[in-house]
Amino acid sequence: MQKIEETQFPENFLWGGAVAANQCEGAYLEDGKKLSTADMVMGGTKDKPRMFSPQIVEDAYYPSHQAIDFYHRYKEDIAMFGEMGFKVFRLSINWTRIFPNGDDQEPNEKGLAFYDNVFDECRKYGIEPLVTLSHYEIPWNLVTKYKGFHSKKTIDLFVRYATTCFERYKNKVKYWLTFNEINVAAIAEGALNGLGLVQKDDLERVEPIPLHDLIDDPQERFEALHNQFVASALTVKAGHEINPDFMIGCMINRITWYPHTPNPKDVLACQKHDRLFNQFAGDVMVRGEYPTYMYSYFKENGIDPSFITEEDKKILSEGKVDMYTFSYYLTNCVSADPMVEKVGGNITGGARNPYLRLSDWGWHIDPEGLRYTLNLIADRYPNIPIMVVENGYGGIDQVEENGAIHDNYRINYLRDHIREMRNAIEDGVPLIGYTEWGPIDIVSVGTGEMYKRYGFIYVDRHDDGTGDYTRSKKDSFEWYKKVIATNGADLA
């Protein structure tokens, strides 16, 4: 019997899915495209870290180079999203398709035409594109030449790239995000992909380096992150001038942190970490100014904040985002005790929460945490629309002899999270959309694997390079189709 949920999602709720260019497109040197930071990172596993190589190593496996070949198969994939009834499809533009070196004189017409085709295909099925301008990658040339966003020059180059996209697609795309999970650069683990900040000594290394071993200079990291904030604010301002109807958002990797115990030491440590990781970037981008607690963080950590100039403050205040979007997979705990049991997480781990189950990759599963998080965001930033632009279950799928894939674990995870979104809407949260992460299997960012799968659509592609890229439906495909068709009323 069909189970109808009591509260309805708002009319026109944007149901859909989300991917990133370097995790799905492949064709990494096709039609004029050149290398980006994501193309320099090899495959790993849960237990074997991904390695970064400053030069491409012949015969080594770089997952982004082929990925799932979306570049050539987008029509088939978007048709399947259309069949599921998607209202929105979040994807990213690969900067190196538009400006292959980042600092080229003219944009690459073939790259621009590719996304024209992708957006037209979306429109054919009534799917609204939601476009991230930089999803964990920047042109490699900007890393070697300018040290990525550490240089002010990269601000201008990003704004030029963004405005080129805005002008070209202004009648095809309304929803935009500037930088994916911009906040992760507040901690060392997030330094490479988005910021392109690689130190000279690392660039000169001959052997590949585990990503987490890249040299971190916190002063330079915060300077580069600041430049990204400025680039984002200038982009928002320029976007509104090009098309006042644009909705341009920030995108935050939201790991809500709980104190591991009621010990005030844990509570304070948790507050500090939460501010640094979750609140800082959102505060800058939604409120248009640095929060005072960051000046205290800079002081405590020996960081000179003089990079925050009066001119930049004005830019930040003039480029506030129109919506708050975020990824949500898990919550973690913070403890003041360094000996506490640890678990993994998305980009960064935390202390083990004994009340929560773990996924196949050791991430806490916490649907109620999503309701809590949505309420925290709505309380902090009243009157701004909110969208969950990533949420999903990375698991191990078993293909049966008849080709079926019974992914009940994924359905259960999504059902529980969607139900909590509905509860949050009931609480008054202005949630306007939900894009499930990886509606089609794609390369994992954390481990570089295809083995870790998120999709409703299975892709026959494996980490040993085998597979013919055939697409097939998992059980979750029909389930999500029904969820969308009933606007979230039927989650059974």
Catalytic sites, residue numbers: 181, 390
Share of the chain residues as helix, strand and coil, in percent rounded to the nearest 5 = 40, 15, 40
The half-sphere exposure of 492 on its side-chain side, counting CA atoms within 13 A, is 7
For ligand BG6, the closer of residues 108 and 279 by Cβ is: 279
User: Which residues within the stretch 115-144 sit at the binding site for ligand BG6 (CB under 6 A)?
Assistant: 136
CB of 326 to ligand BG6, least distance (A): 10
Closer residue to ligand BG6, CB minimum distance, 92 or 353? 92
Give the range of 117-125, 143-151, 163-171, 441-449 binding ligand BG6 by CB under 6 A.
441-449
Binding mask 22-41 for ligand BG6 (x = CB under 6 A): -x------------------
**Helix H segments across 13-88?**
21-24, 63-66, 70-84
Q: Which amino acid is at 257?
A: W
390 versus 420: smaller Cβ distance to ligand BG6: 390
Write out the binding residues for ligand BG6, residues 365-424 only, by CB under 6 A.
Answer: 390, 394
**Residue placing its CB nearer to ligand BG6 in the complex, 108 or 183:** 183
Q: How far is the CB of 185 from ligand BG6 (least distance, A)?
A: 13
Which of residues 235 and 253 has its CB atom nearest to ligand BG6 in the complex? 253
Options 111-119, 257-265, 280-288, 445-453: segment touching ligand BG6 (CB under 6 A): 445-453
From candidates 437, 451, 456, 458, binder to ligand BG6 by CB under 6 A: 437
CB 267, min distance to ligand BG6, A? 26
Contact 67, 450 (CB under 8 A): no
Q: Which one of 13, 14, 20, 24 is in contact with ligand BG6 (CB under 6 A)?
A: 20
> Between residues 63 and 100, which has the closer beta carbon with respect to ligand BG6?
63
Q: How far apart are CA 97 and CA 161, in angstroms?
A: 11
Does 441 engage in binding with ligand BG6 (CB under 6 A)?
no
- Which of positions 246-265 make contact with ligand BG6 (CB under 6 A)? 253
* Shortest spacing between CB 209 and ligand BG6, in angstroms: 19
- Which residues does 292 contact at the CB level (< 8 Å), separation at least 6? none
For ligand BG6, the closer of residues 151 and 253 by Cβ is 253
| Least Å from the CB of residue 92 to ligand BG6 | 9
d(CA 196, CA 141): 10
Residues 167, 213 contacting (CB under 8 angstroms):
no
Please check whether residue 110 is in contact with residue 32, taking contact to mean a CB–CB distance below 8 angstroms: yes
Q: Does residue number 445 form part of the binding site for ligand BG6 (CB under 6 A)?
A: yes
Identity at 185, one-letter amino acid code: A
| Residues 195 and 228 sit within 8 Å (Cβ to Cβ) | yes
Is 18 within 8 Å of 70 (Cβ atoms)? Answer: no
Q: How far is the CB of 437 from ligand BG6 (least distance, A)?
A: 6
Residue of the chain from 37, 235, 279, 327 that contacts ligand BG6 (CB under 6 A): 327
Reference 74, options 84, 62, 88, 89; nearest CA is 89
Q: Would you say 23 or 279 has its CB closer to ligand BG6?
A: 23
By CB under 6 A, the count of residues binding ligand BG6 is 16
Interaction residues for ligand BG6, span 169-208 (CB under 6 A):
180-181
Asked if residue 56 lies in contact with residue 157, where contact means CB atoms within 8 angstroms, the answer is: no
Q: Supply 320's token pair.
A: 């506030």
Closest contact distance (angstroms) between CB of 180 and ligand BG6 is 5
List, in sequence order, every residue forming a beta bridge with 109; answer none if it has no partner: none
Torsions phi, psi of 123, nearest 5? -60, -35
Residues of 375-399 as b/e, b for ≥16 C-beta within 10 angstroms? ebbbeebeebbbbbbbbbbbbebee
Cα angle 220-103-182, degrees, rounded to a multiple of 5? 40
- Whichever of 180 and 353 has its CB closer to ligand BG6, that residue is 180
Which residue intervals of 138-214 are DSSP H helices? 140-146, 152-169, 192-195, 200-203
Least distance CB 347 / ligand BG6 (angstroms): 6
Alpha-carbon distance of 332 to 352, in angstroms, equals 7
**Is residue 446 a contact residue for ligand BG6 (CB under 6 A)?**
yes
**Shortest Å, Cβ 131 to ligand BG6:** 14
Q: Which of left, alpha, beta for 488 (phi over 0: left; psi -120 to 50: alpha)?
A: left
Stretches 33-41, 68-76, 232-240, 438-446: which one binds ligand BG6 (CB under 6 A)?
Answer: 438-446
Using rule CB under 6 A, residue 230 touches ligand BG6: no
Structure tokens at 423: 């509860």
> Which residue among 166, 444, 457, 473 contacts ligand BG6 (CB under 6 A)?
444
> What DSSP state is assigned to residue 127?
P
What is the rounded CA–CA span in Å between residue 105 and residue 164? Answer: 12
Q: Which residues contribute to the site for ligand BG6 (CB under 6 A)?
A: 20, 23, 136, 180-181, 253, 327, 346-347, 390, 394, 437, 444-446, 452
